[in-house]
Chain A
């Protein structure tokens, strides 16, 4: 799943393709609020899940996102 997350993020953000799963992706990629929402939409579409915003509040890493998605599948 981490690789798929990287691929998704890399479509929008330079540097995402090689991002460490535990790196702070908002800090590393400079993601602003609107981009974060776009990424959330991408994740919901790609993994066919519904992710309430509050479940990713405070989730800053690819590994964290993978956990949120996994428990929604």
Chain B
């Protein structure tokens, strides 16, 4: 069982579905990535071909820099030019990605994210769907959305709130600052910190370990220990779709697209 996509690929290795993110430059999540994530979600919903774990990692310089803001900007500009509501397609996209991320979050097997480098915005939200995050020392976690006049829209706030707590949500959301792996581990966000370039090998060993336990018990334990914050996810989605119609968002996206700032990732 394997899949080779334009933005991500996967293969089954020792009962583990290894998902490799490989869209240049930094796995920005746009419609092509969403299409392929939906295929992965469908596989998981269909039983994951008997796999016991899912391991997501990146072969790009970072784990994932977040949503594809250029695609978002272009889509909104096109709709505006055609006299259509700017949030129409965005709402469809957000509904679809919530369905995928909820599937990953609640998958009846163990999910692991092996993170290095930038893990920002939507990429952070993807990592937060995992049961455990293994980060190498280069990893940095950040919600930069307020710079765009937005909040995270892929379920990041409820999941971070569930996993770590609201004070951390407020710190990251309201400042836009990034946390290194050591600090993220101290807060309980990251399960293991390993040396640079060691996240994937460590995550593979972790996956091997979790596959030793009874599948039914793992599934039951996960359903108990990791409930989906359904109401909060719905509220975040609505808030995101409401905020995206603000003129400030269009201005910020335009600024991002036009920027030649040497450090656009820094808040």
Chain A residues within 8 Å of B, Cβ to Cβ: 26, 31-34, 36-38, 40-41, 44-45, 50, 52-54, 56-57
Contact = CB atoms under 8 A, between A and B. Distances in A.
B118 A45 contact: no
Main secondary structure on chain A at its contact with chain B? helix
Interface in B79-121: 117-118
B183 A50 contact: yes
A54 B265 CA distance: 11
Contacts of B263: 26, 32-33, 36
B137 A26 contact: no
B156 interface: no
Contacts of B266: 33, 36-37, 53, 56-57
Contacts of B138: 38, 41
Interface in B41-69: 61-62
B62 A34 contact: yes
Interface string B249-263: 000000000000111
A53 B180 contact: no
Contacts of B142: 53
A52 B262 CA distance: 18
A37 B177 CA distance: 11
B118 A52 contact: no
A34 B61 contact: yes
Contact of B176 (A31, A34, A53): A53
B237 interface: no
B177 A54 contact: yes
B28 to A, nearest CB: 13
A33 B180 contact: no
Interface string B154-190: 0000000000000000000001111010110000000
Contact of A37 (B137, B175, B262, B265): B265
B198 to A, nearest CB: 15
29 contacts: A26-B263, A32-B263, A33-B261, A33-B264, A33-B266, A34-B26, A34-B61, A34-B62, A34-B118, A34-B265, A36-B265, A36-B266, A37-B117, A37-B178, A37-B266, A38-B117, A40-B180, A41-B140, A44-B183, A45-B180, A45-B182, A50-B180, A50-B183, A53-B176, A53-B266, A53-B267, A54-B175, A54-B267, A56-B266
A53 B264 contact: no
Given A34-B62, A34-B118, A53-B177, A26 B267 contact: no
A71 B52 CA distance: 48
A57 B177 CA distance: 11
Nearest to A30: B262
Given A32-B263, A34-B62, A37-B118, 7 more contacts: A26-B263, A37-B117, A41-B180, A53-B266, A54-B175, A56-B266, A57-B266
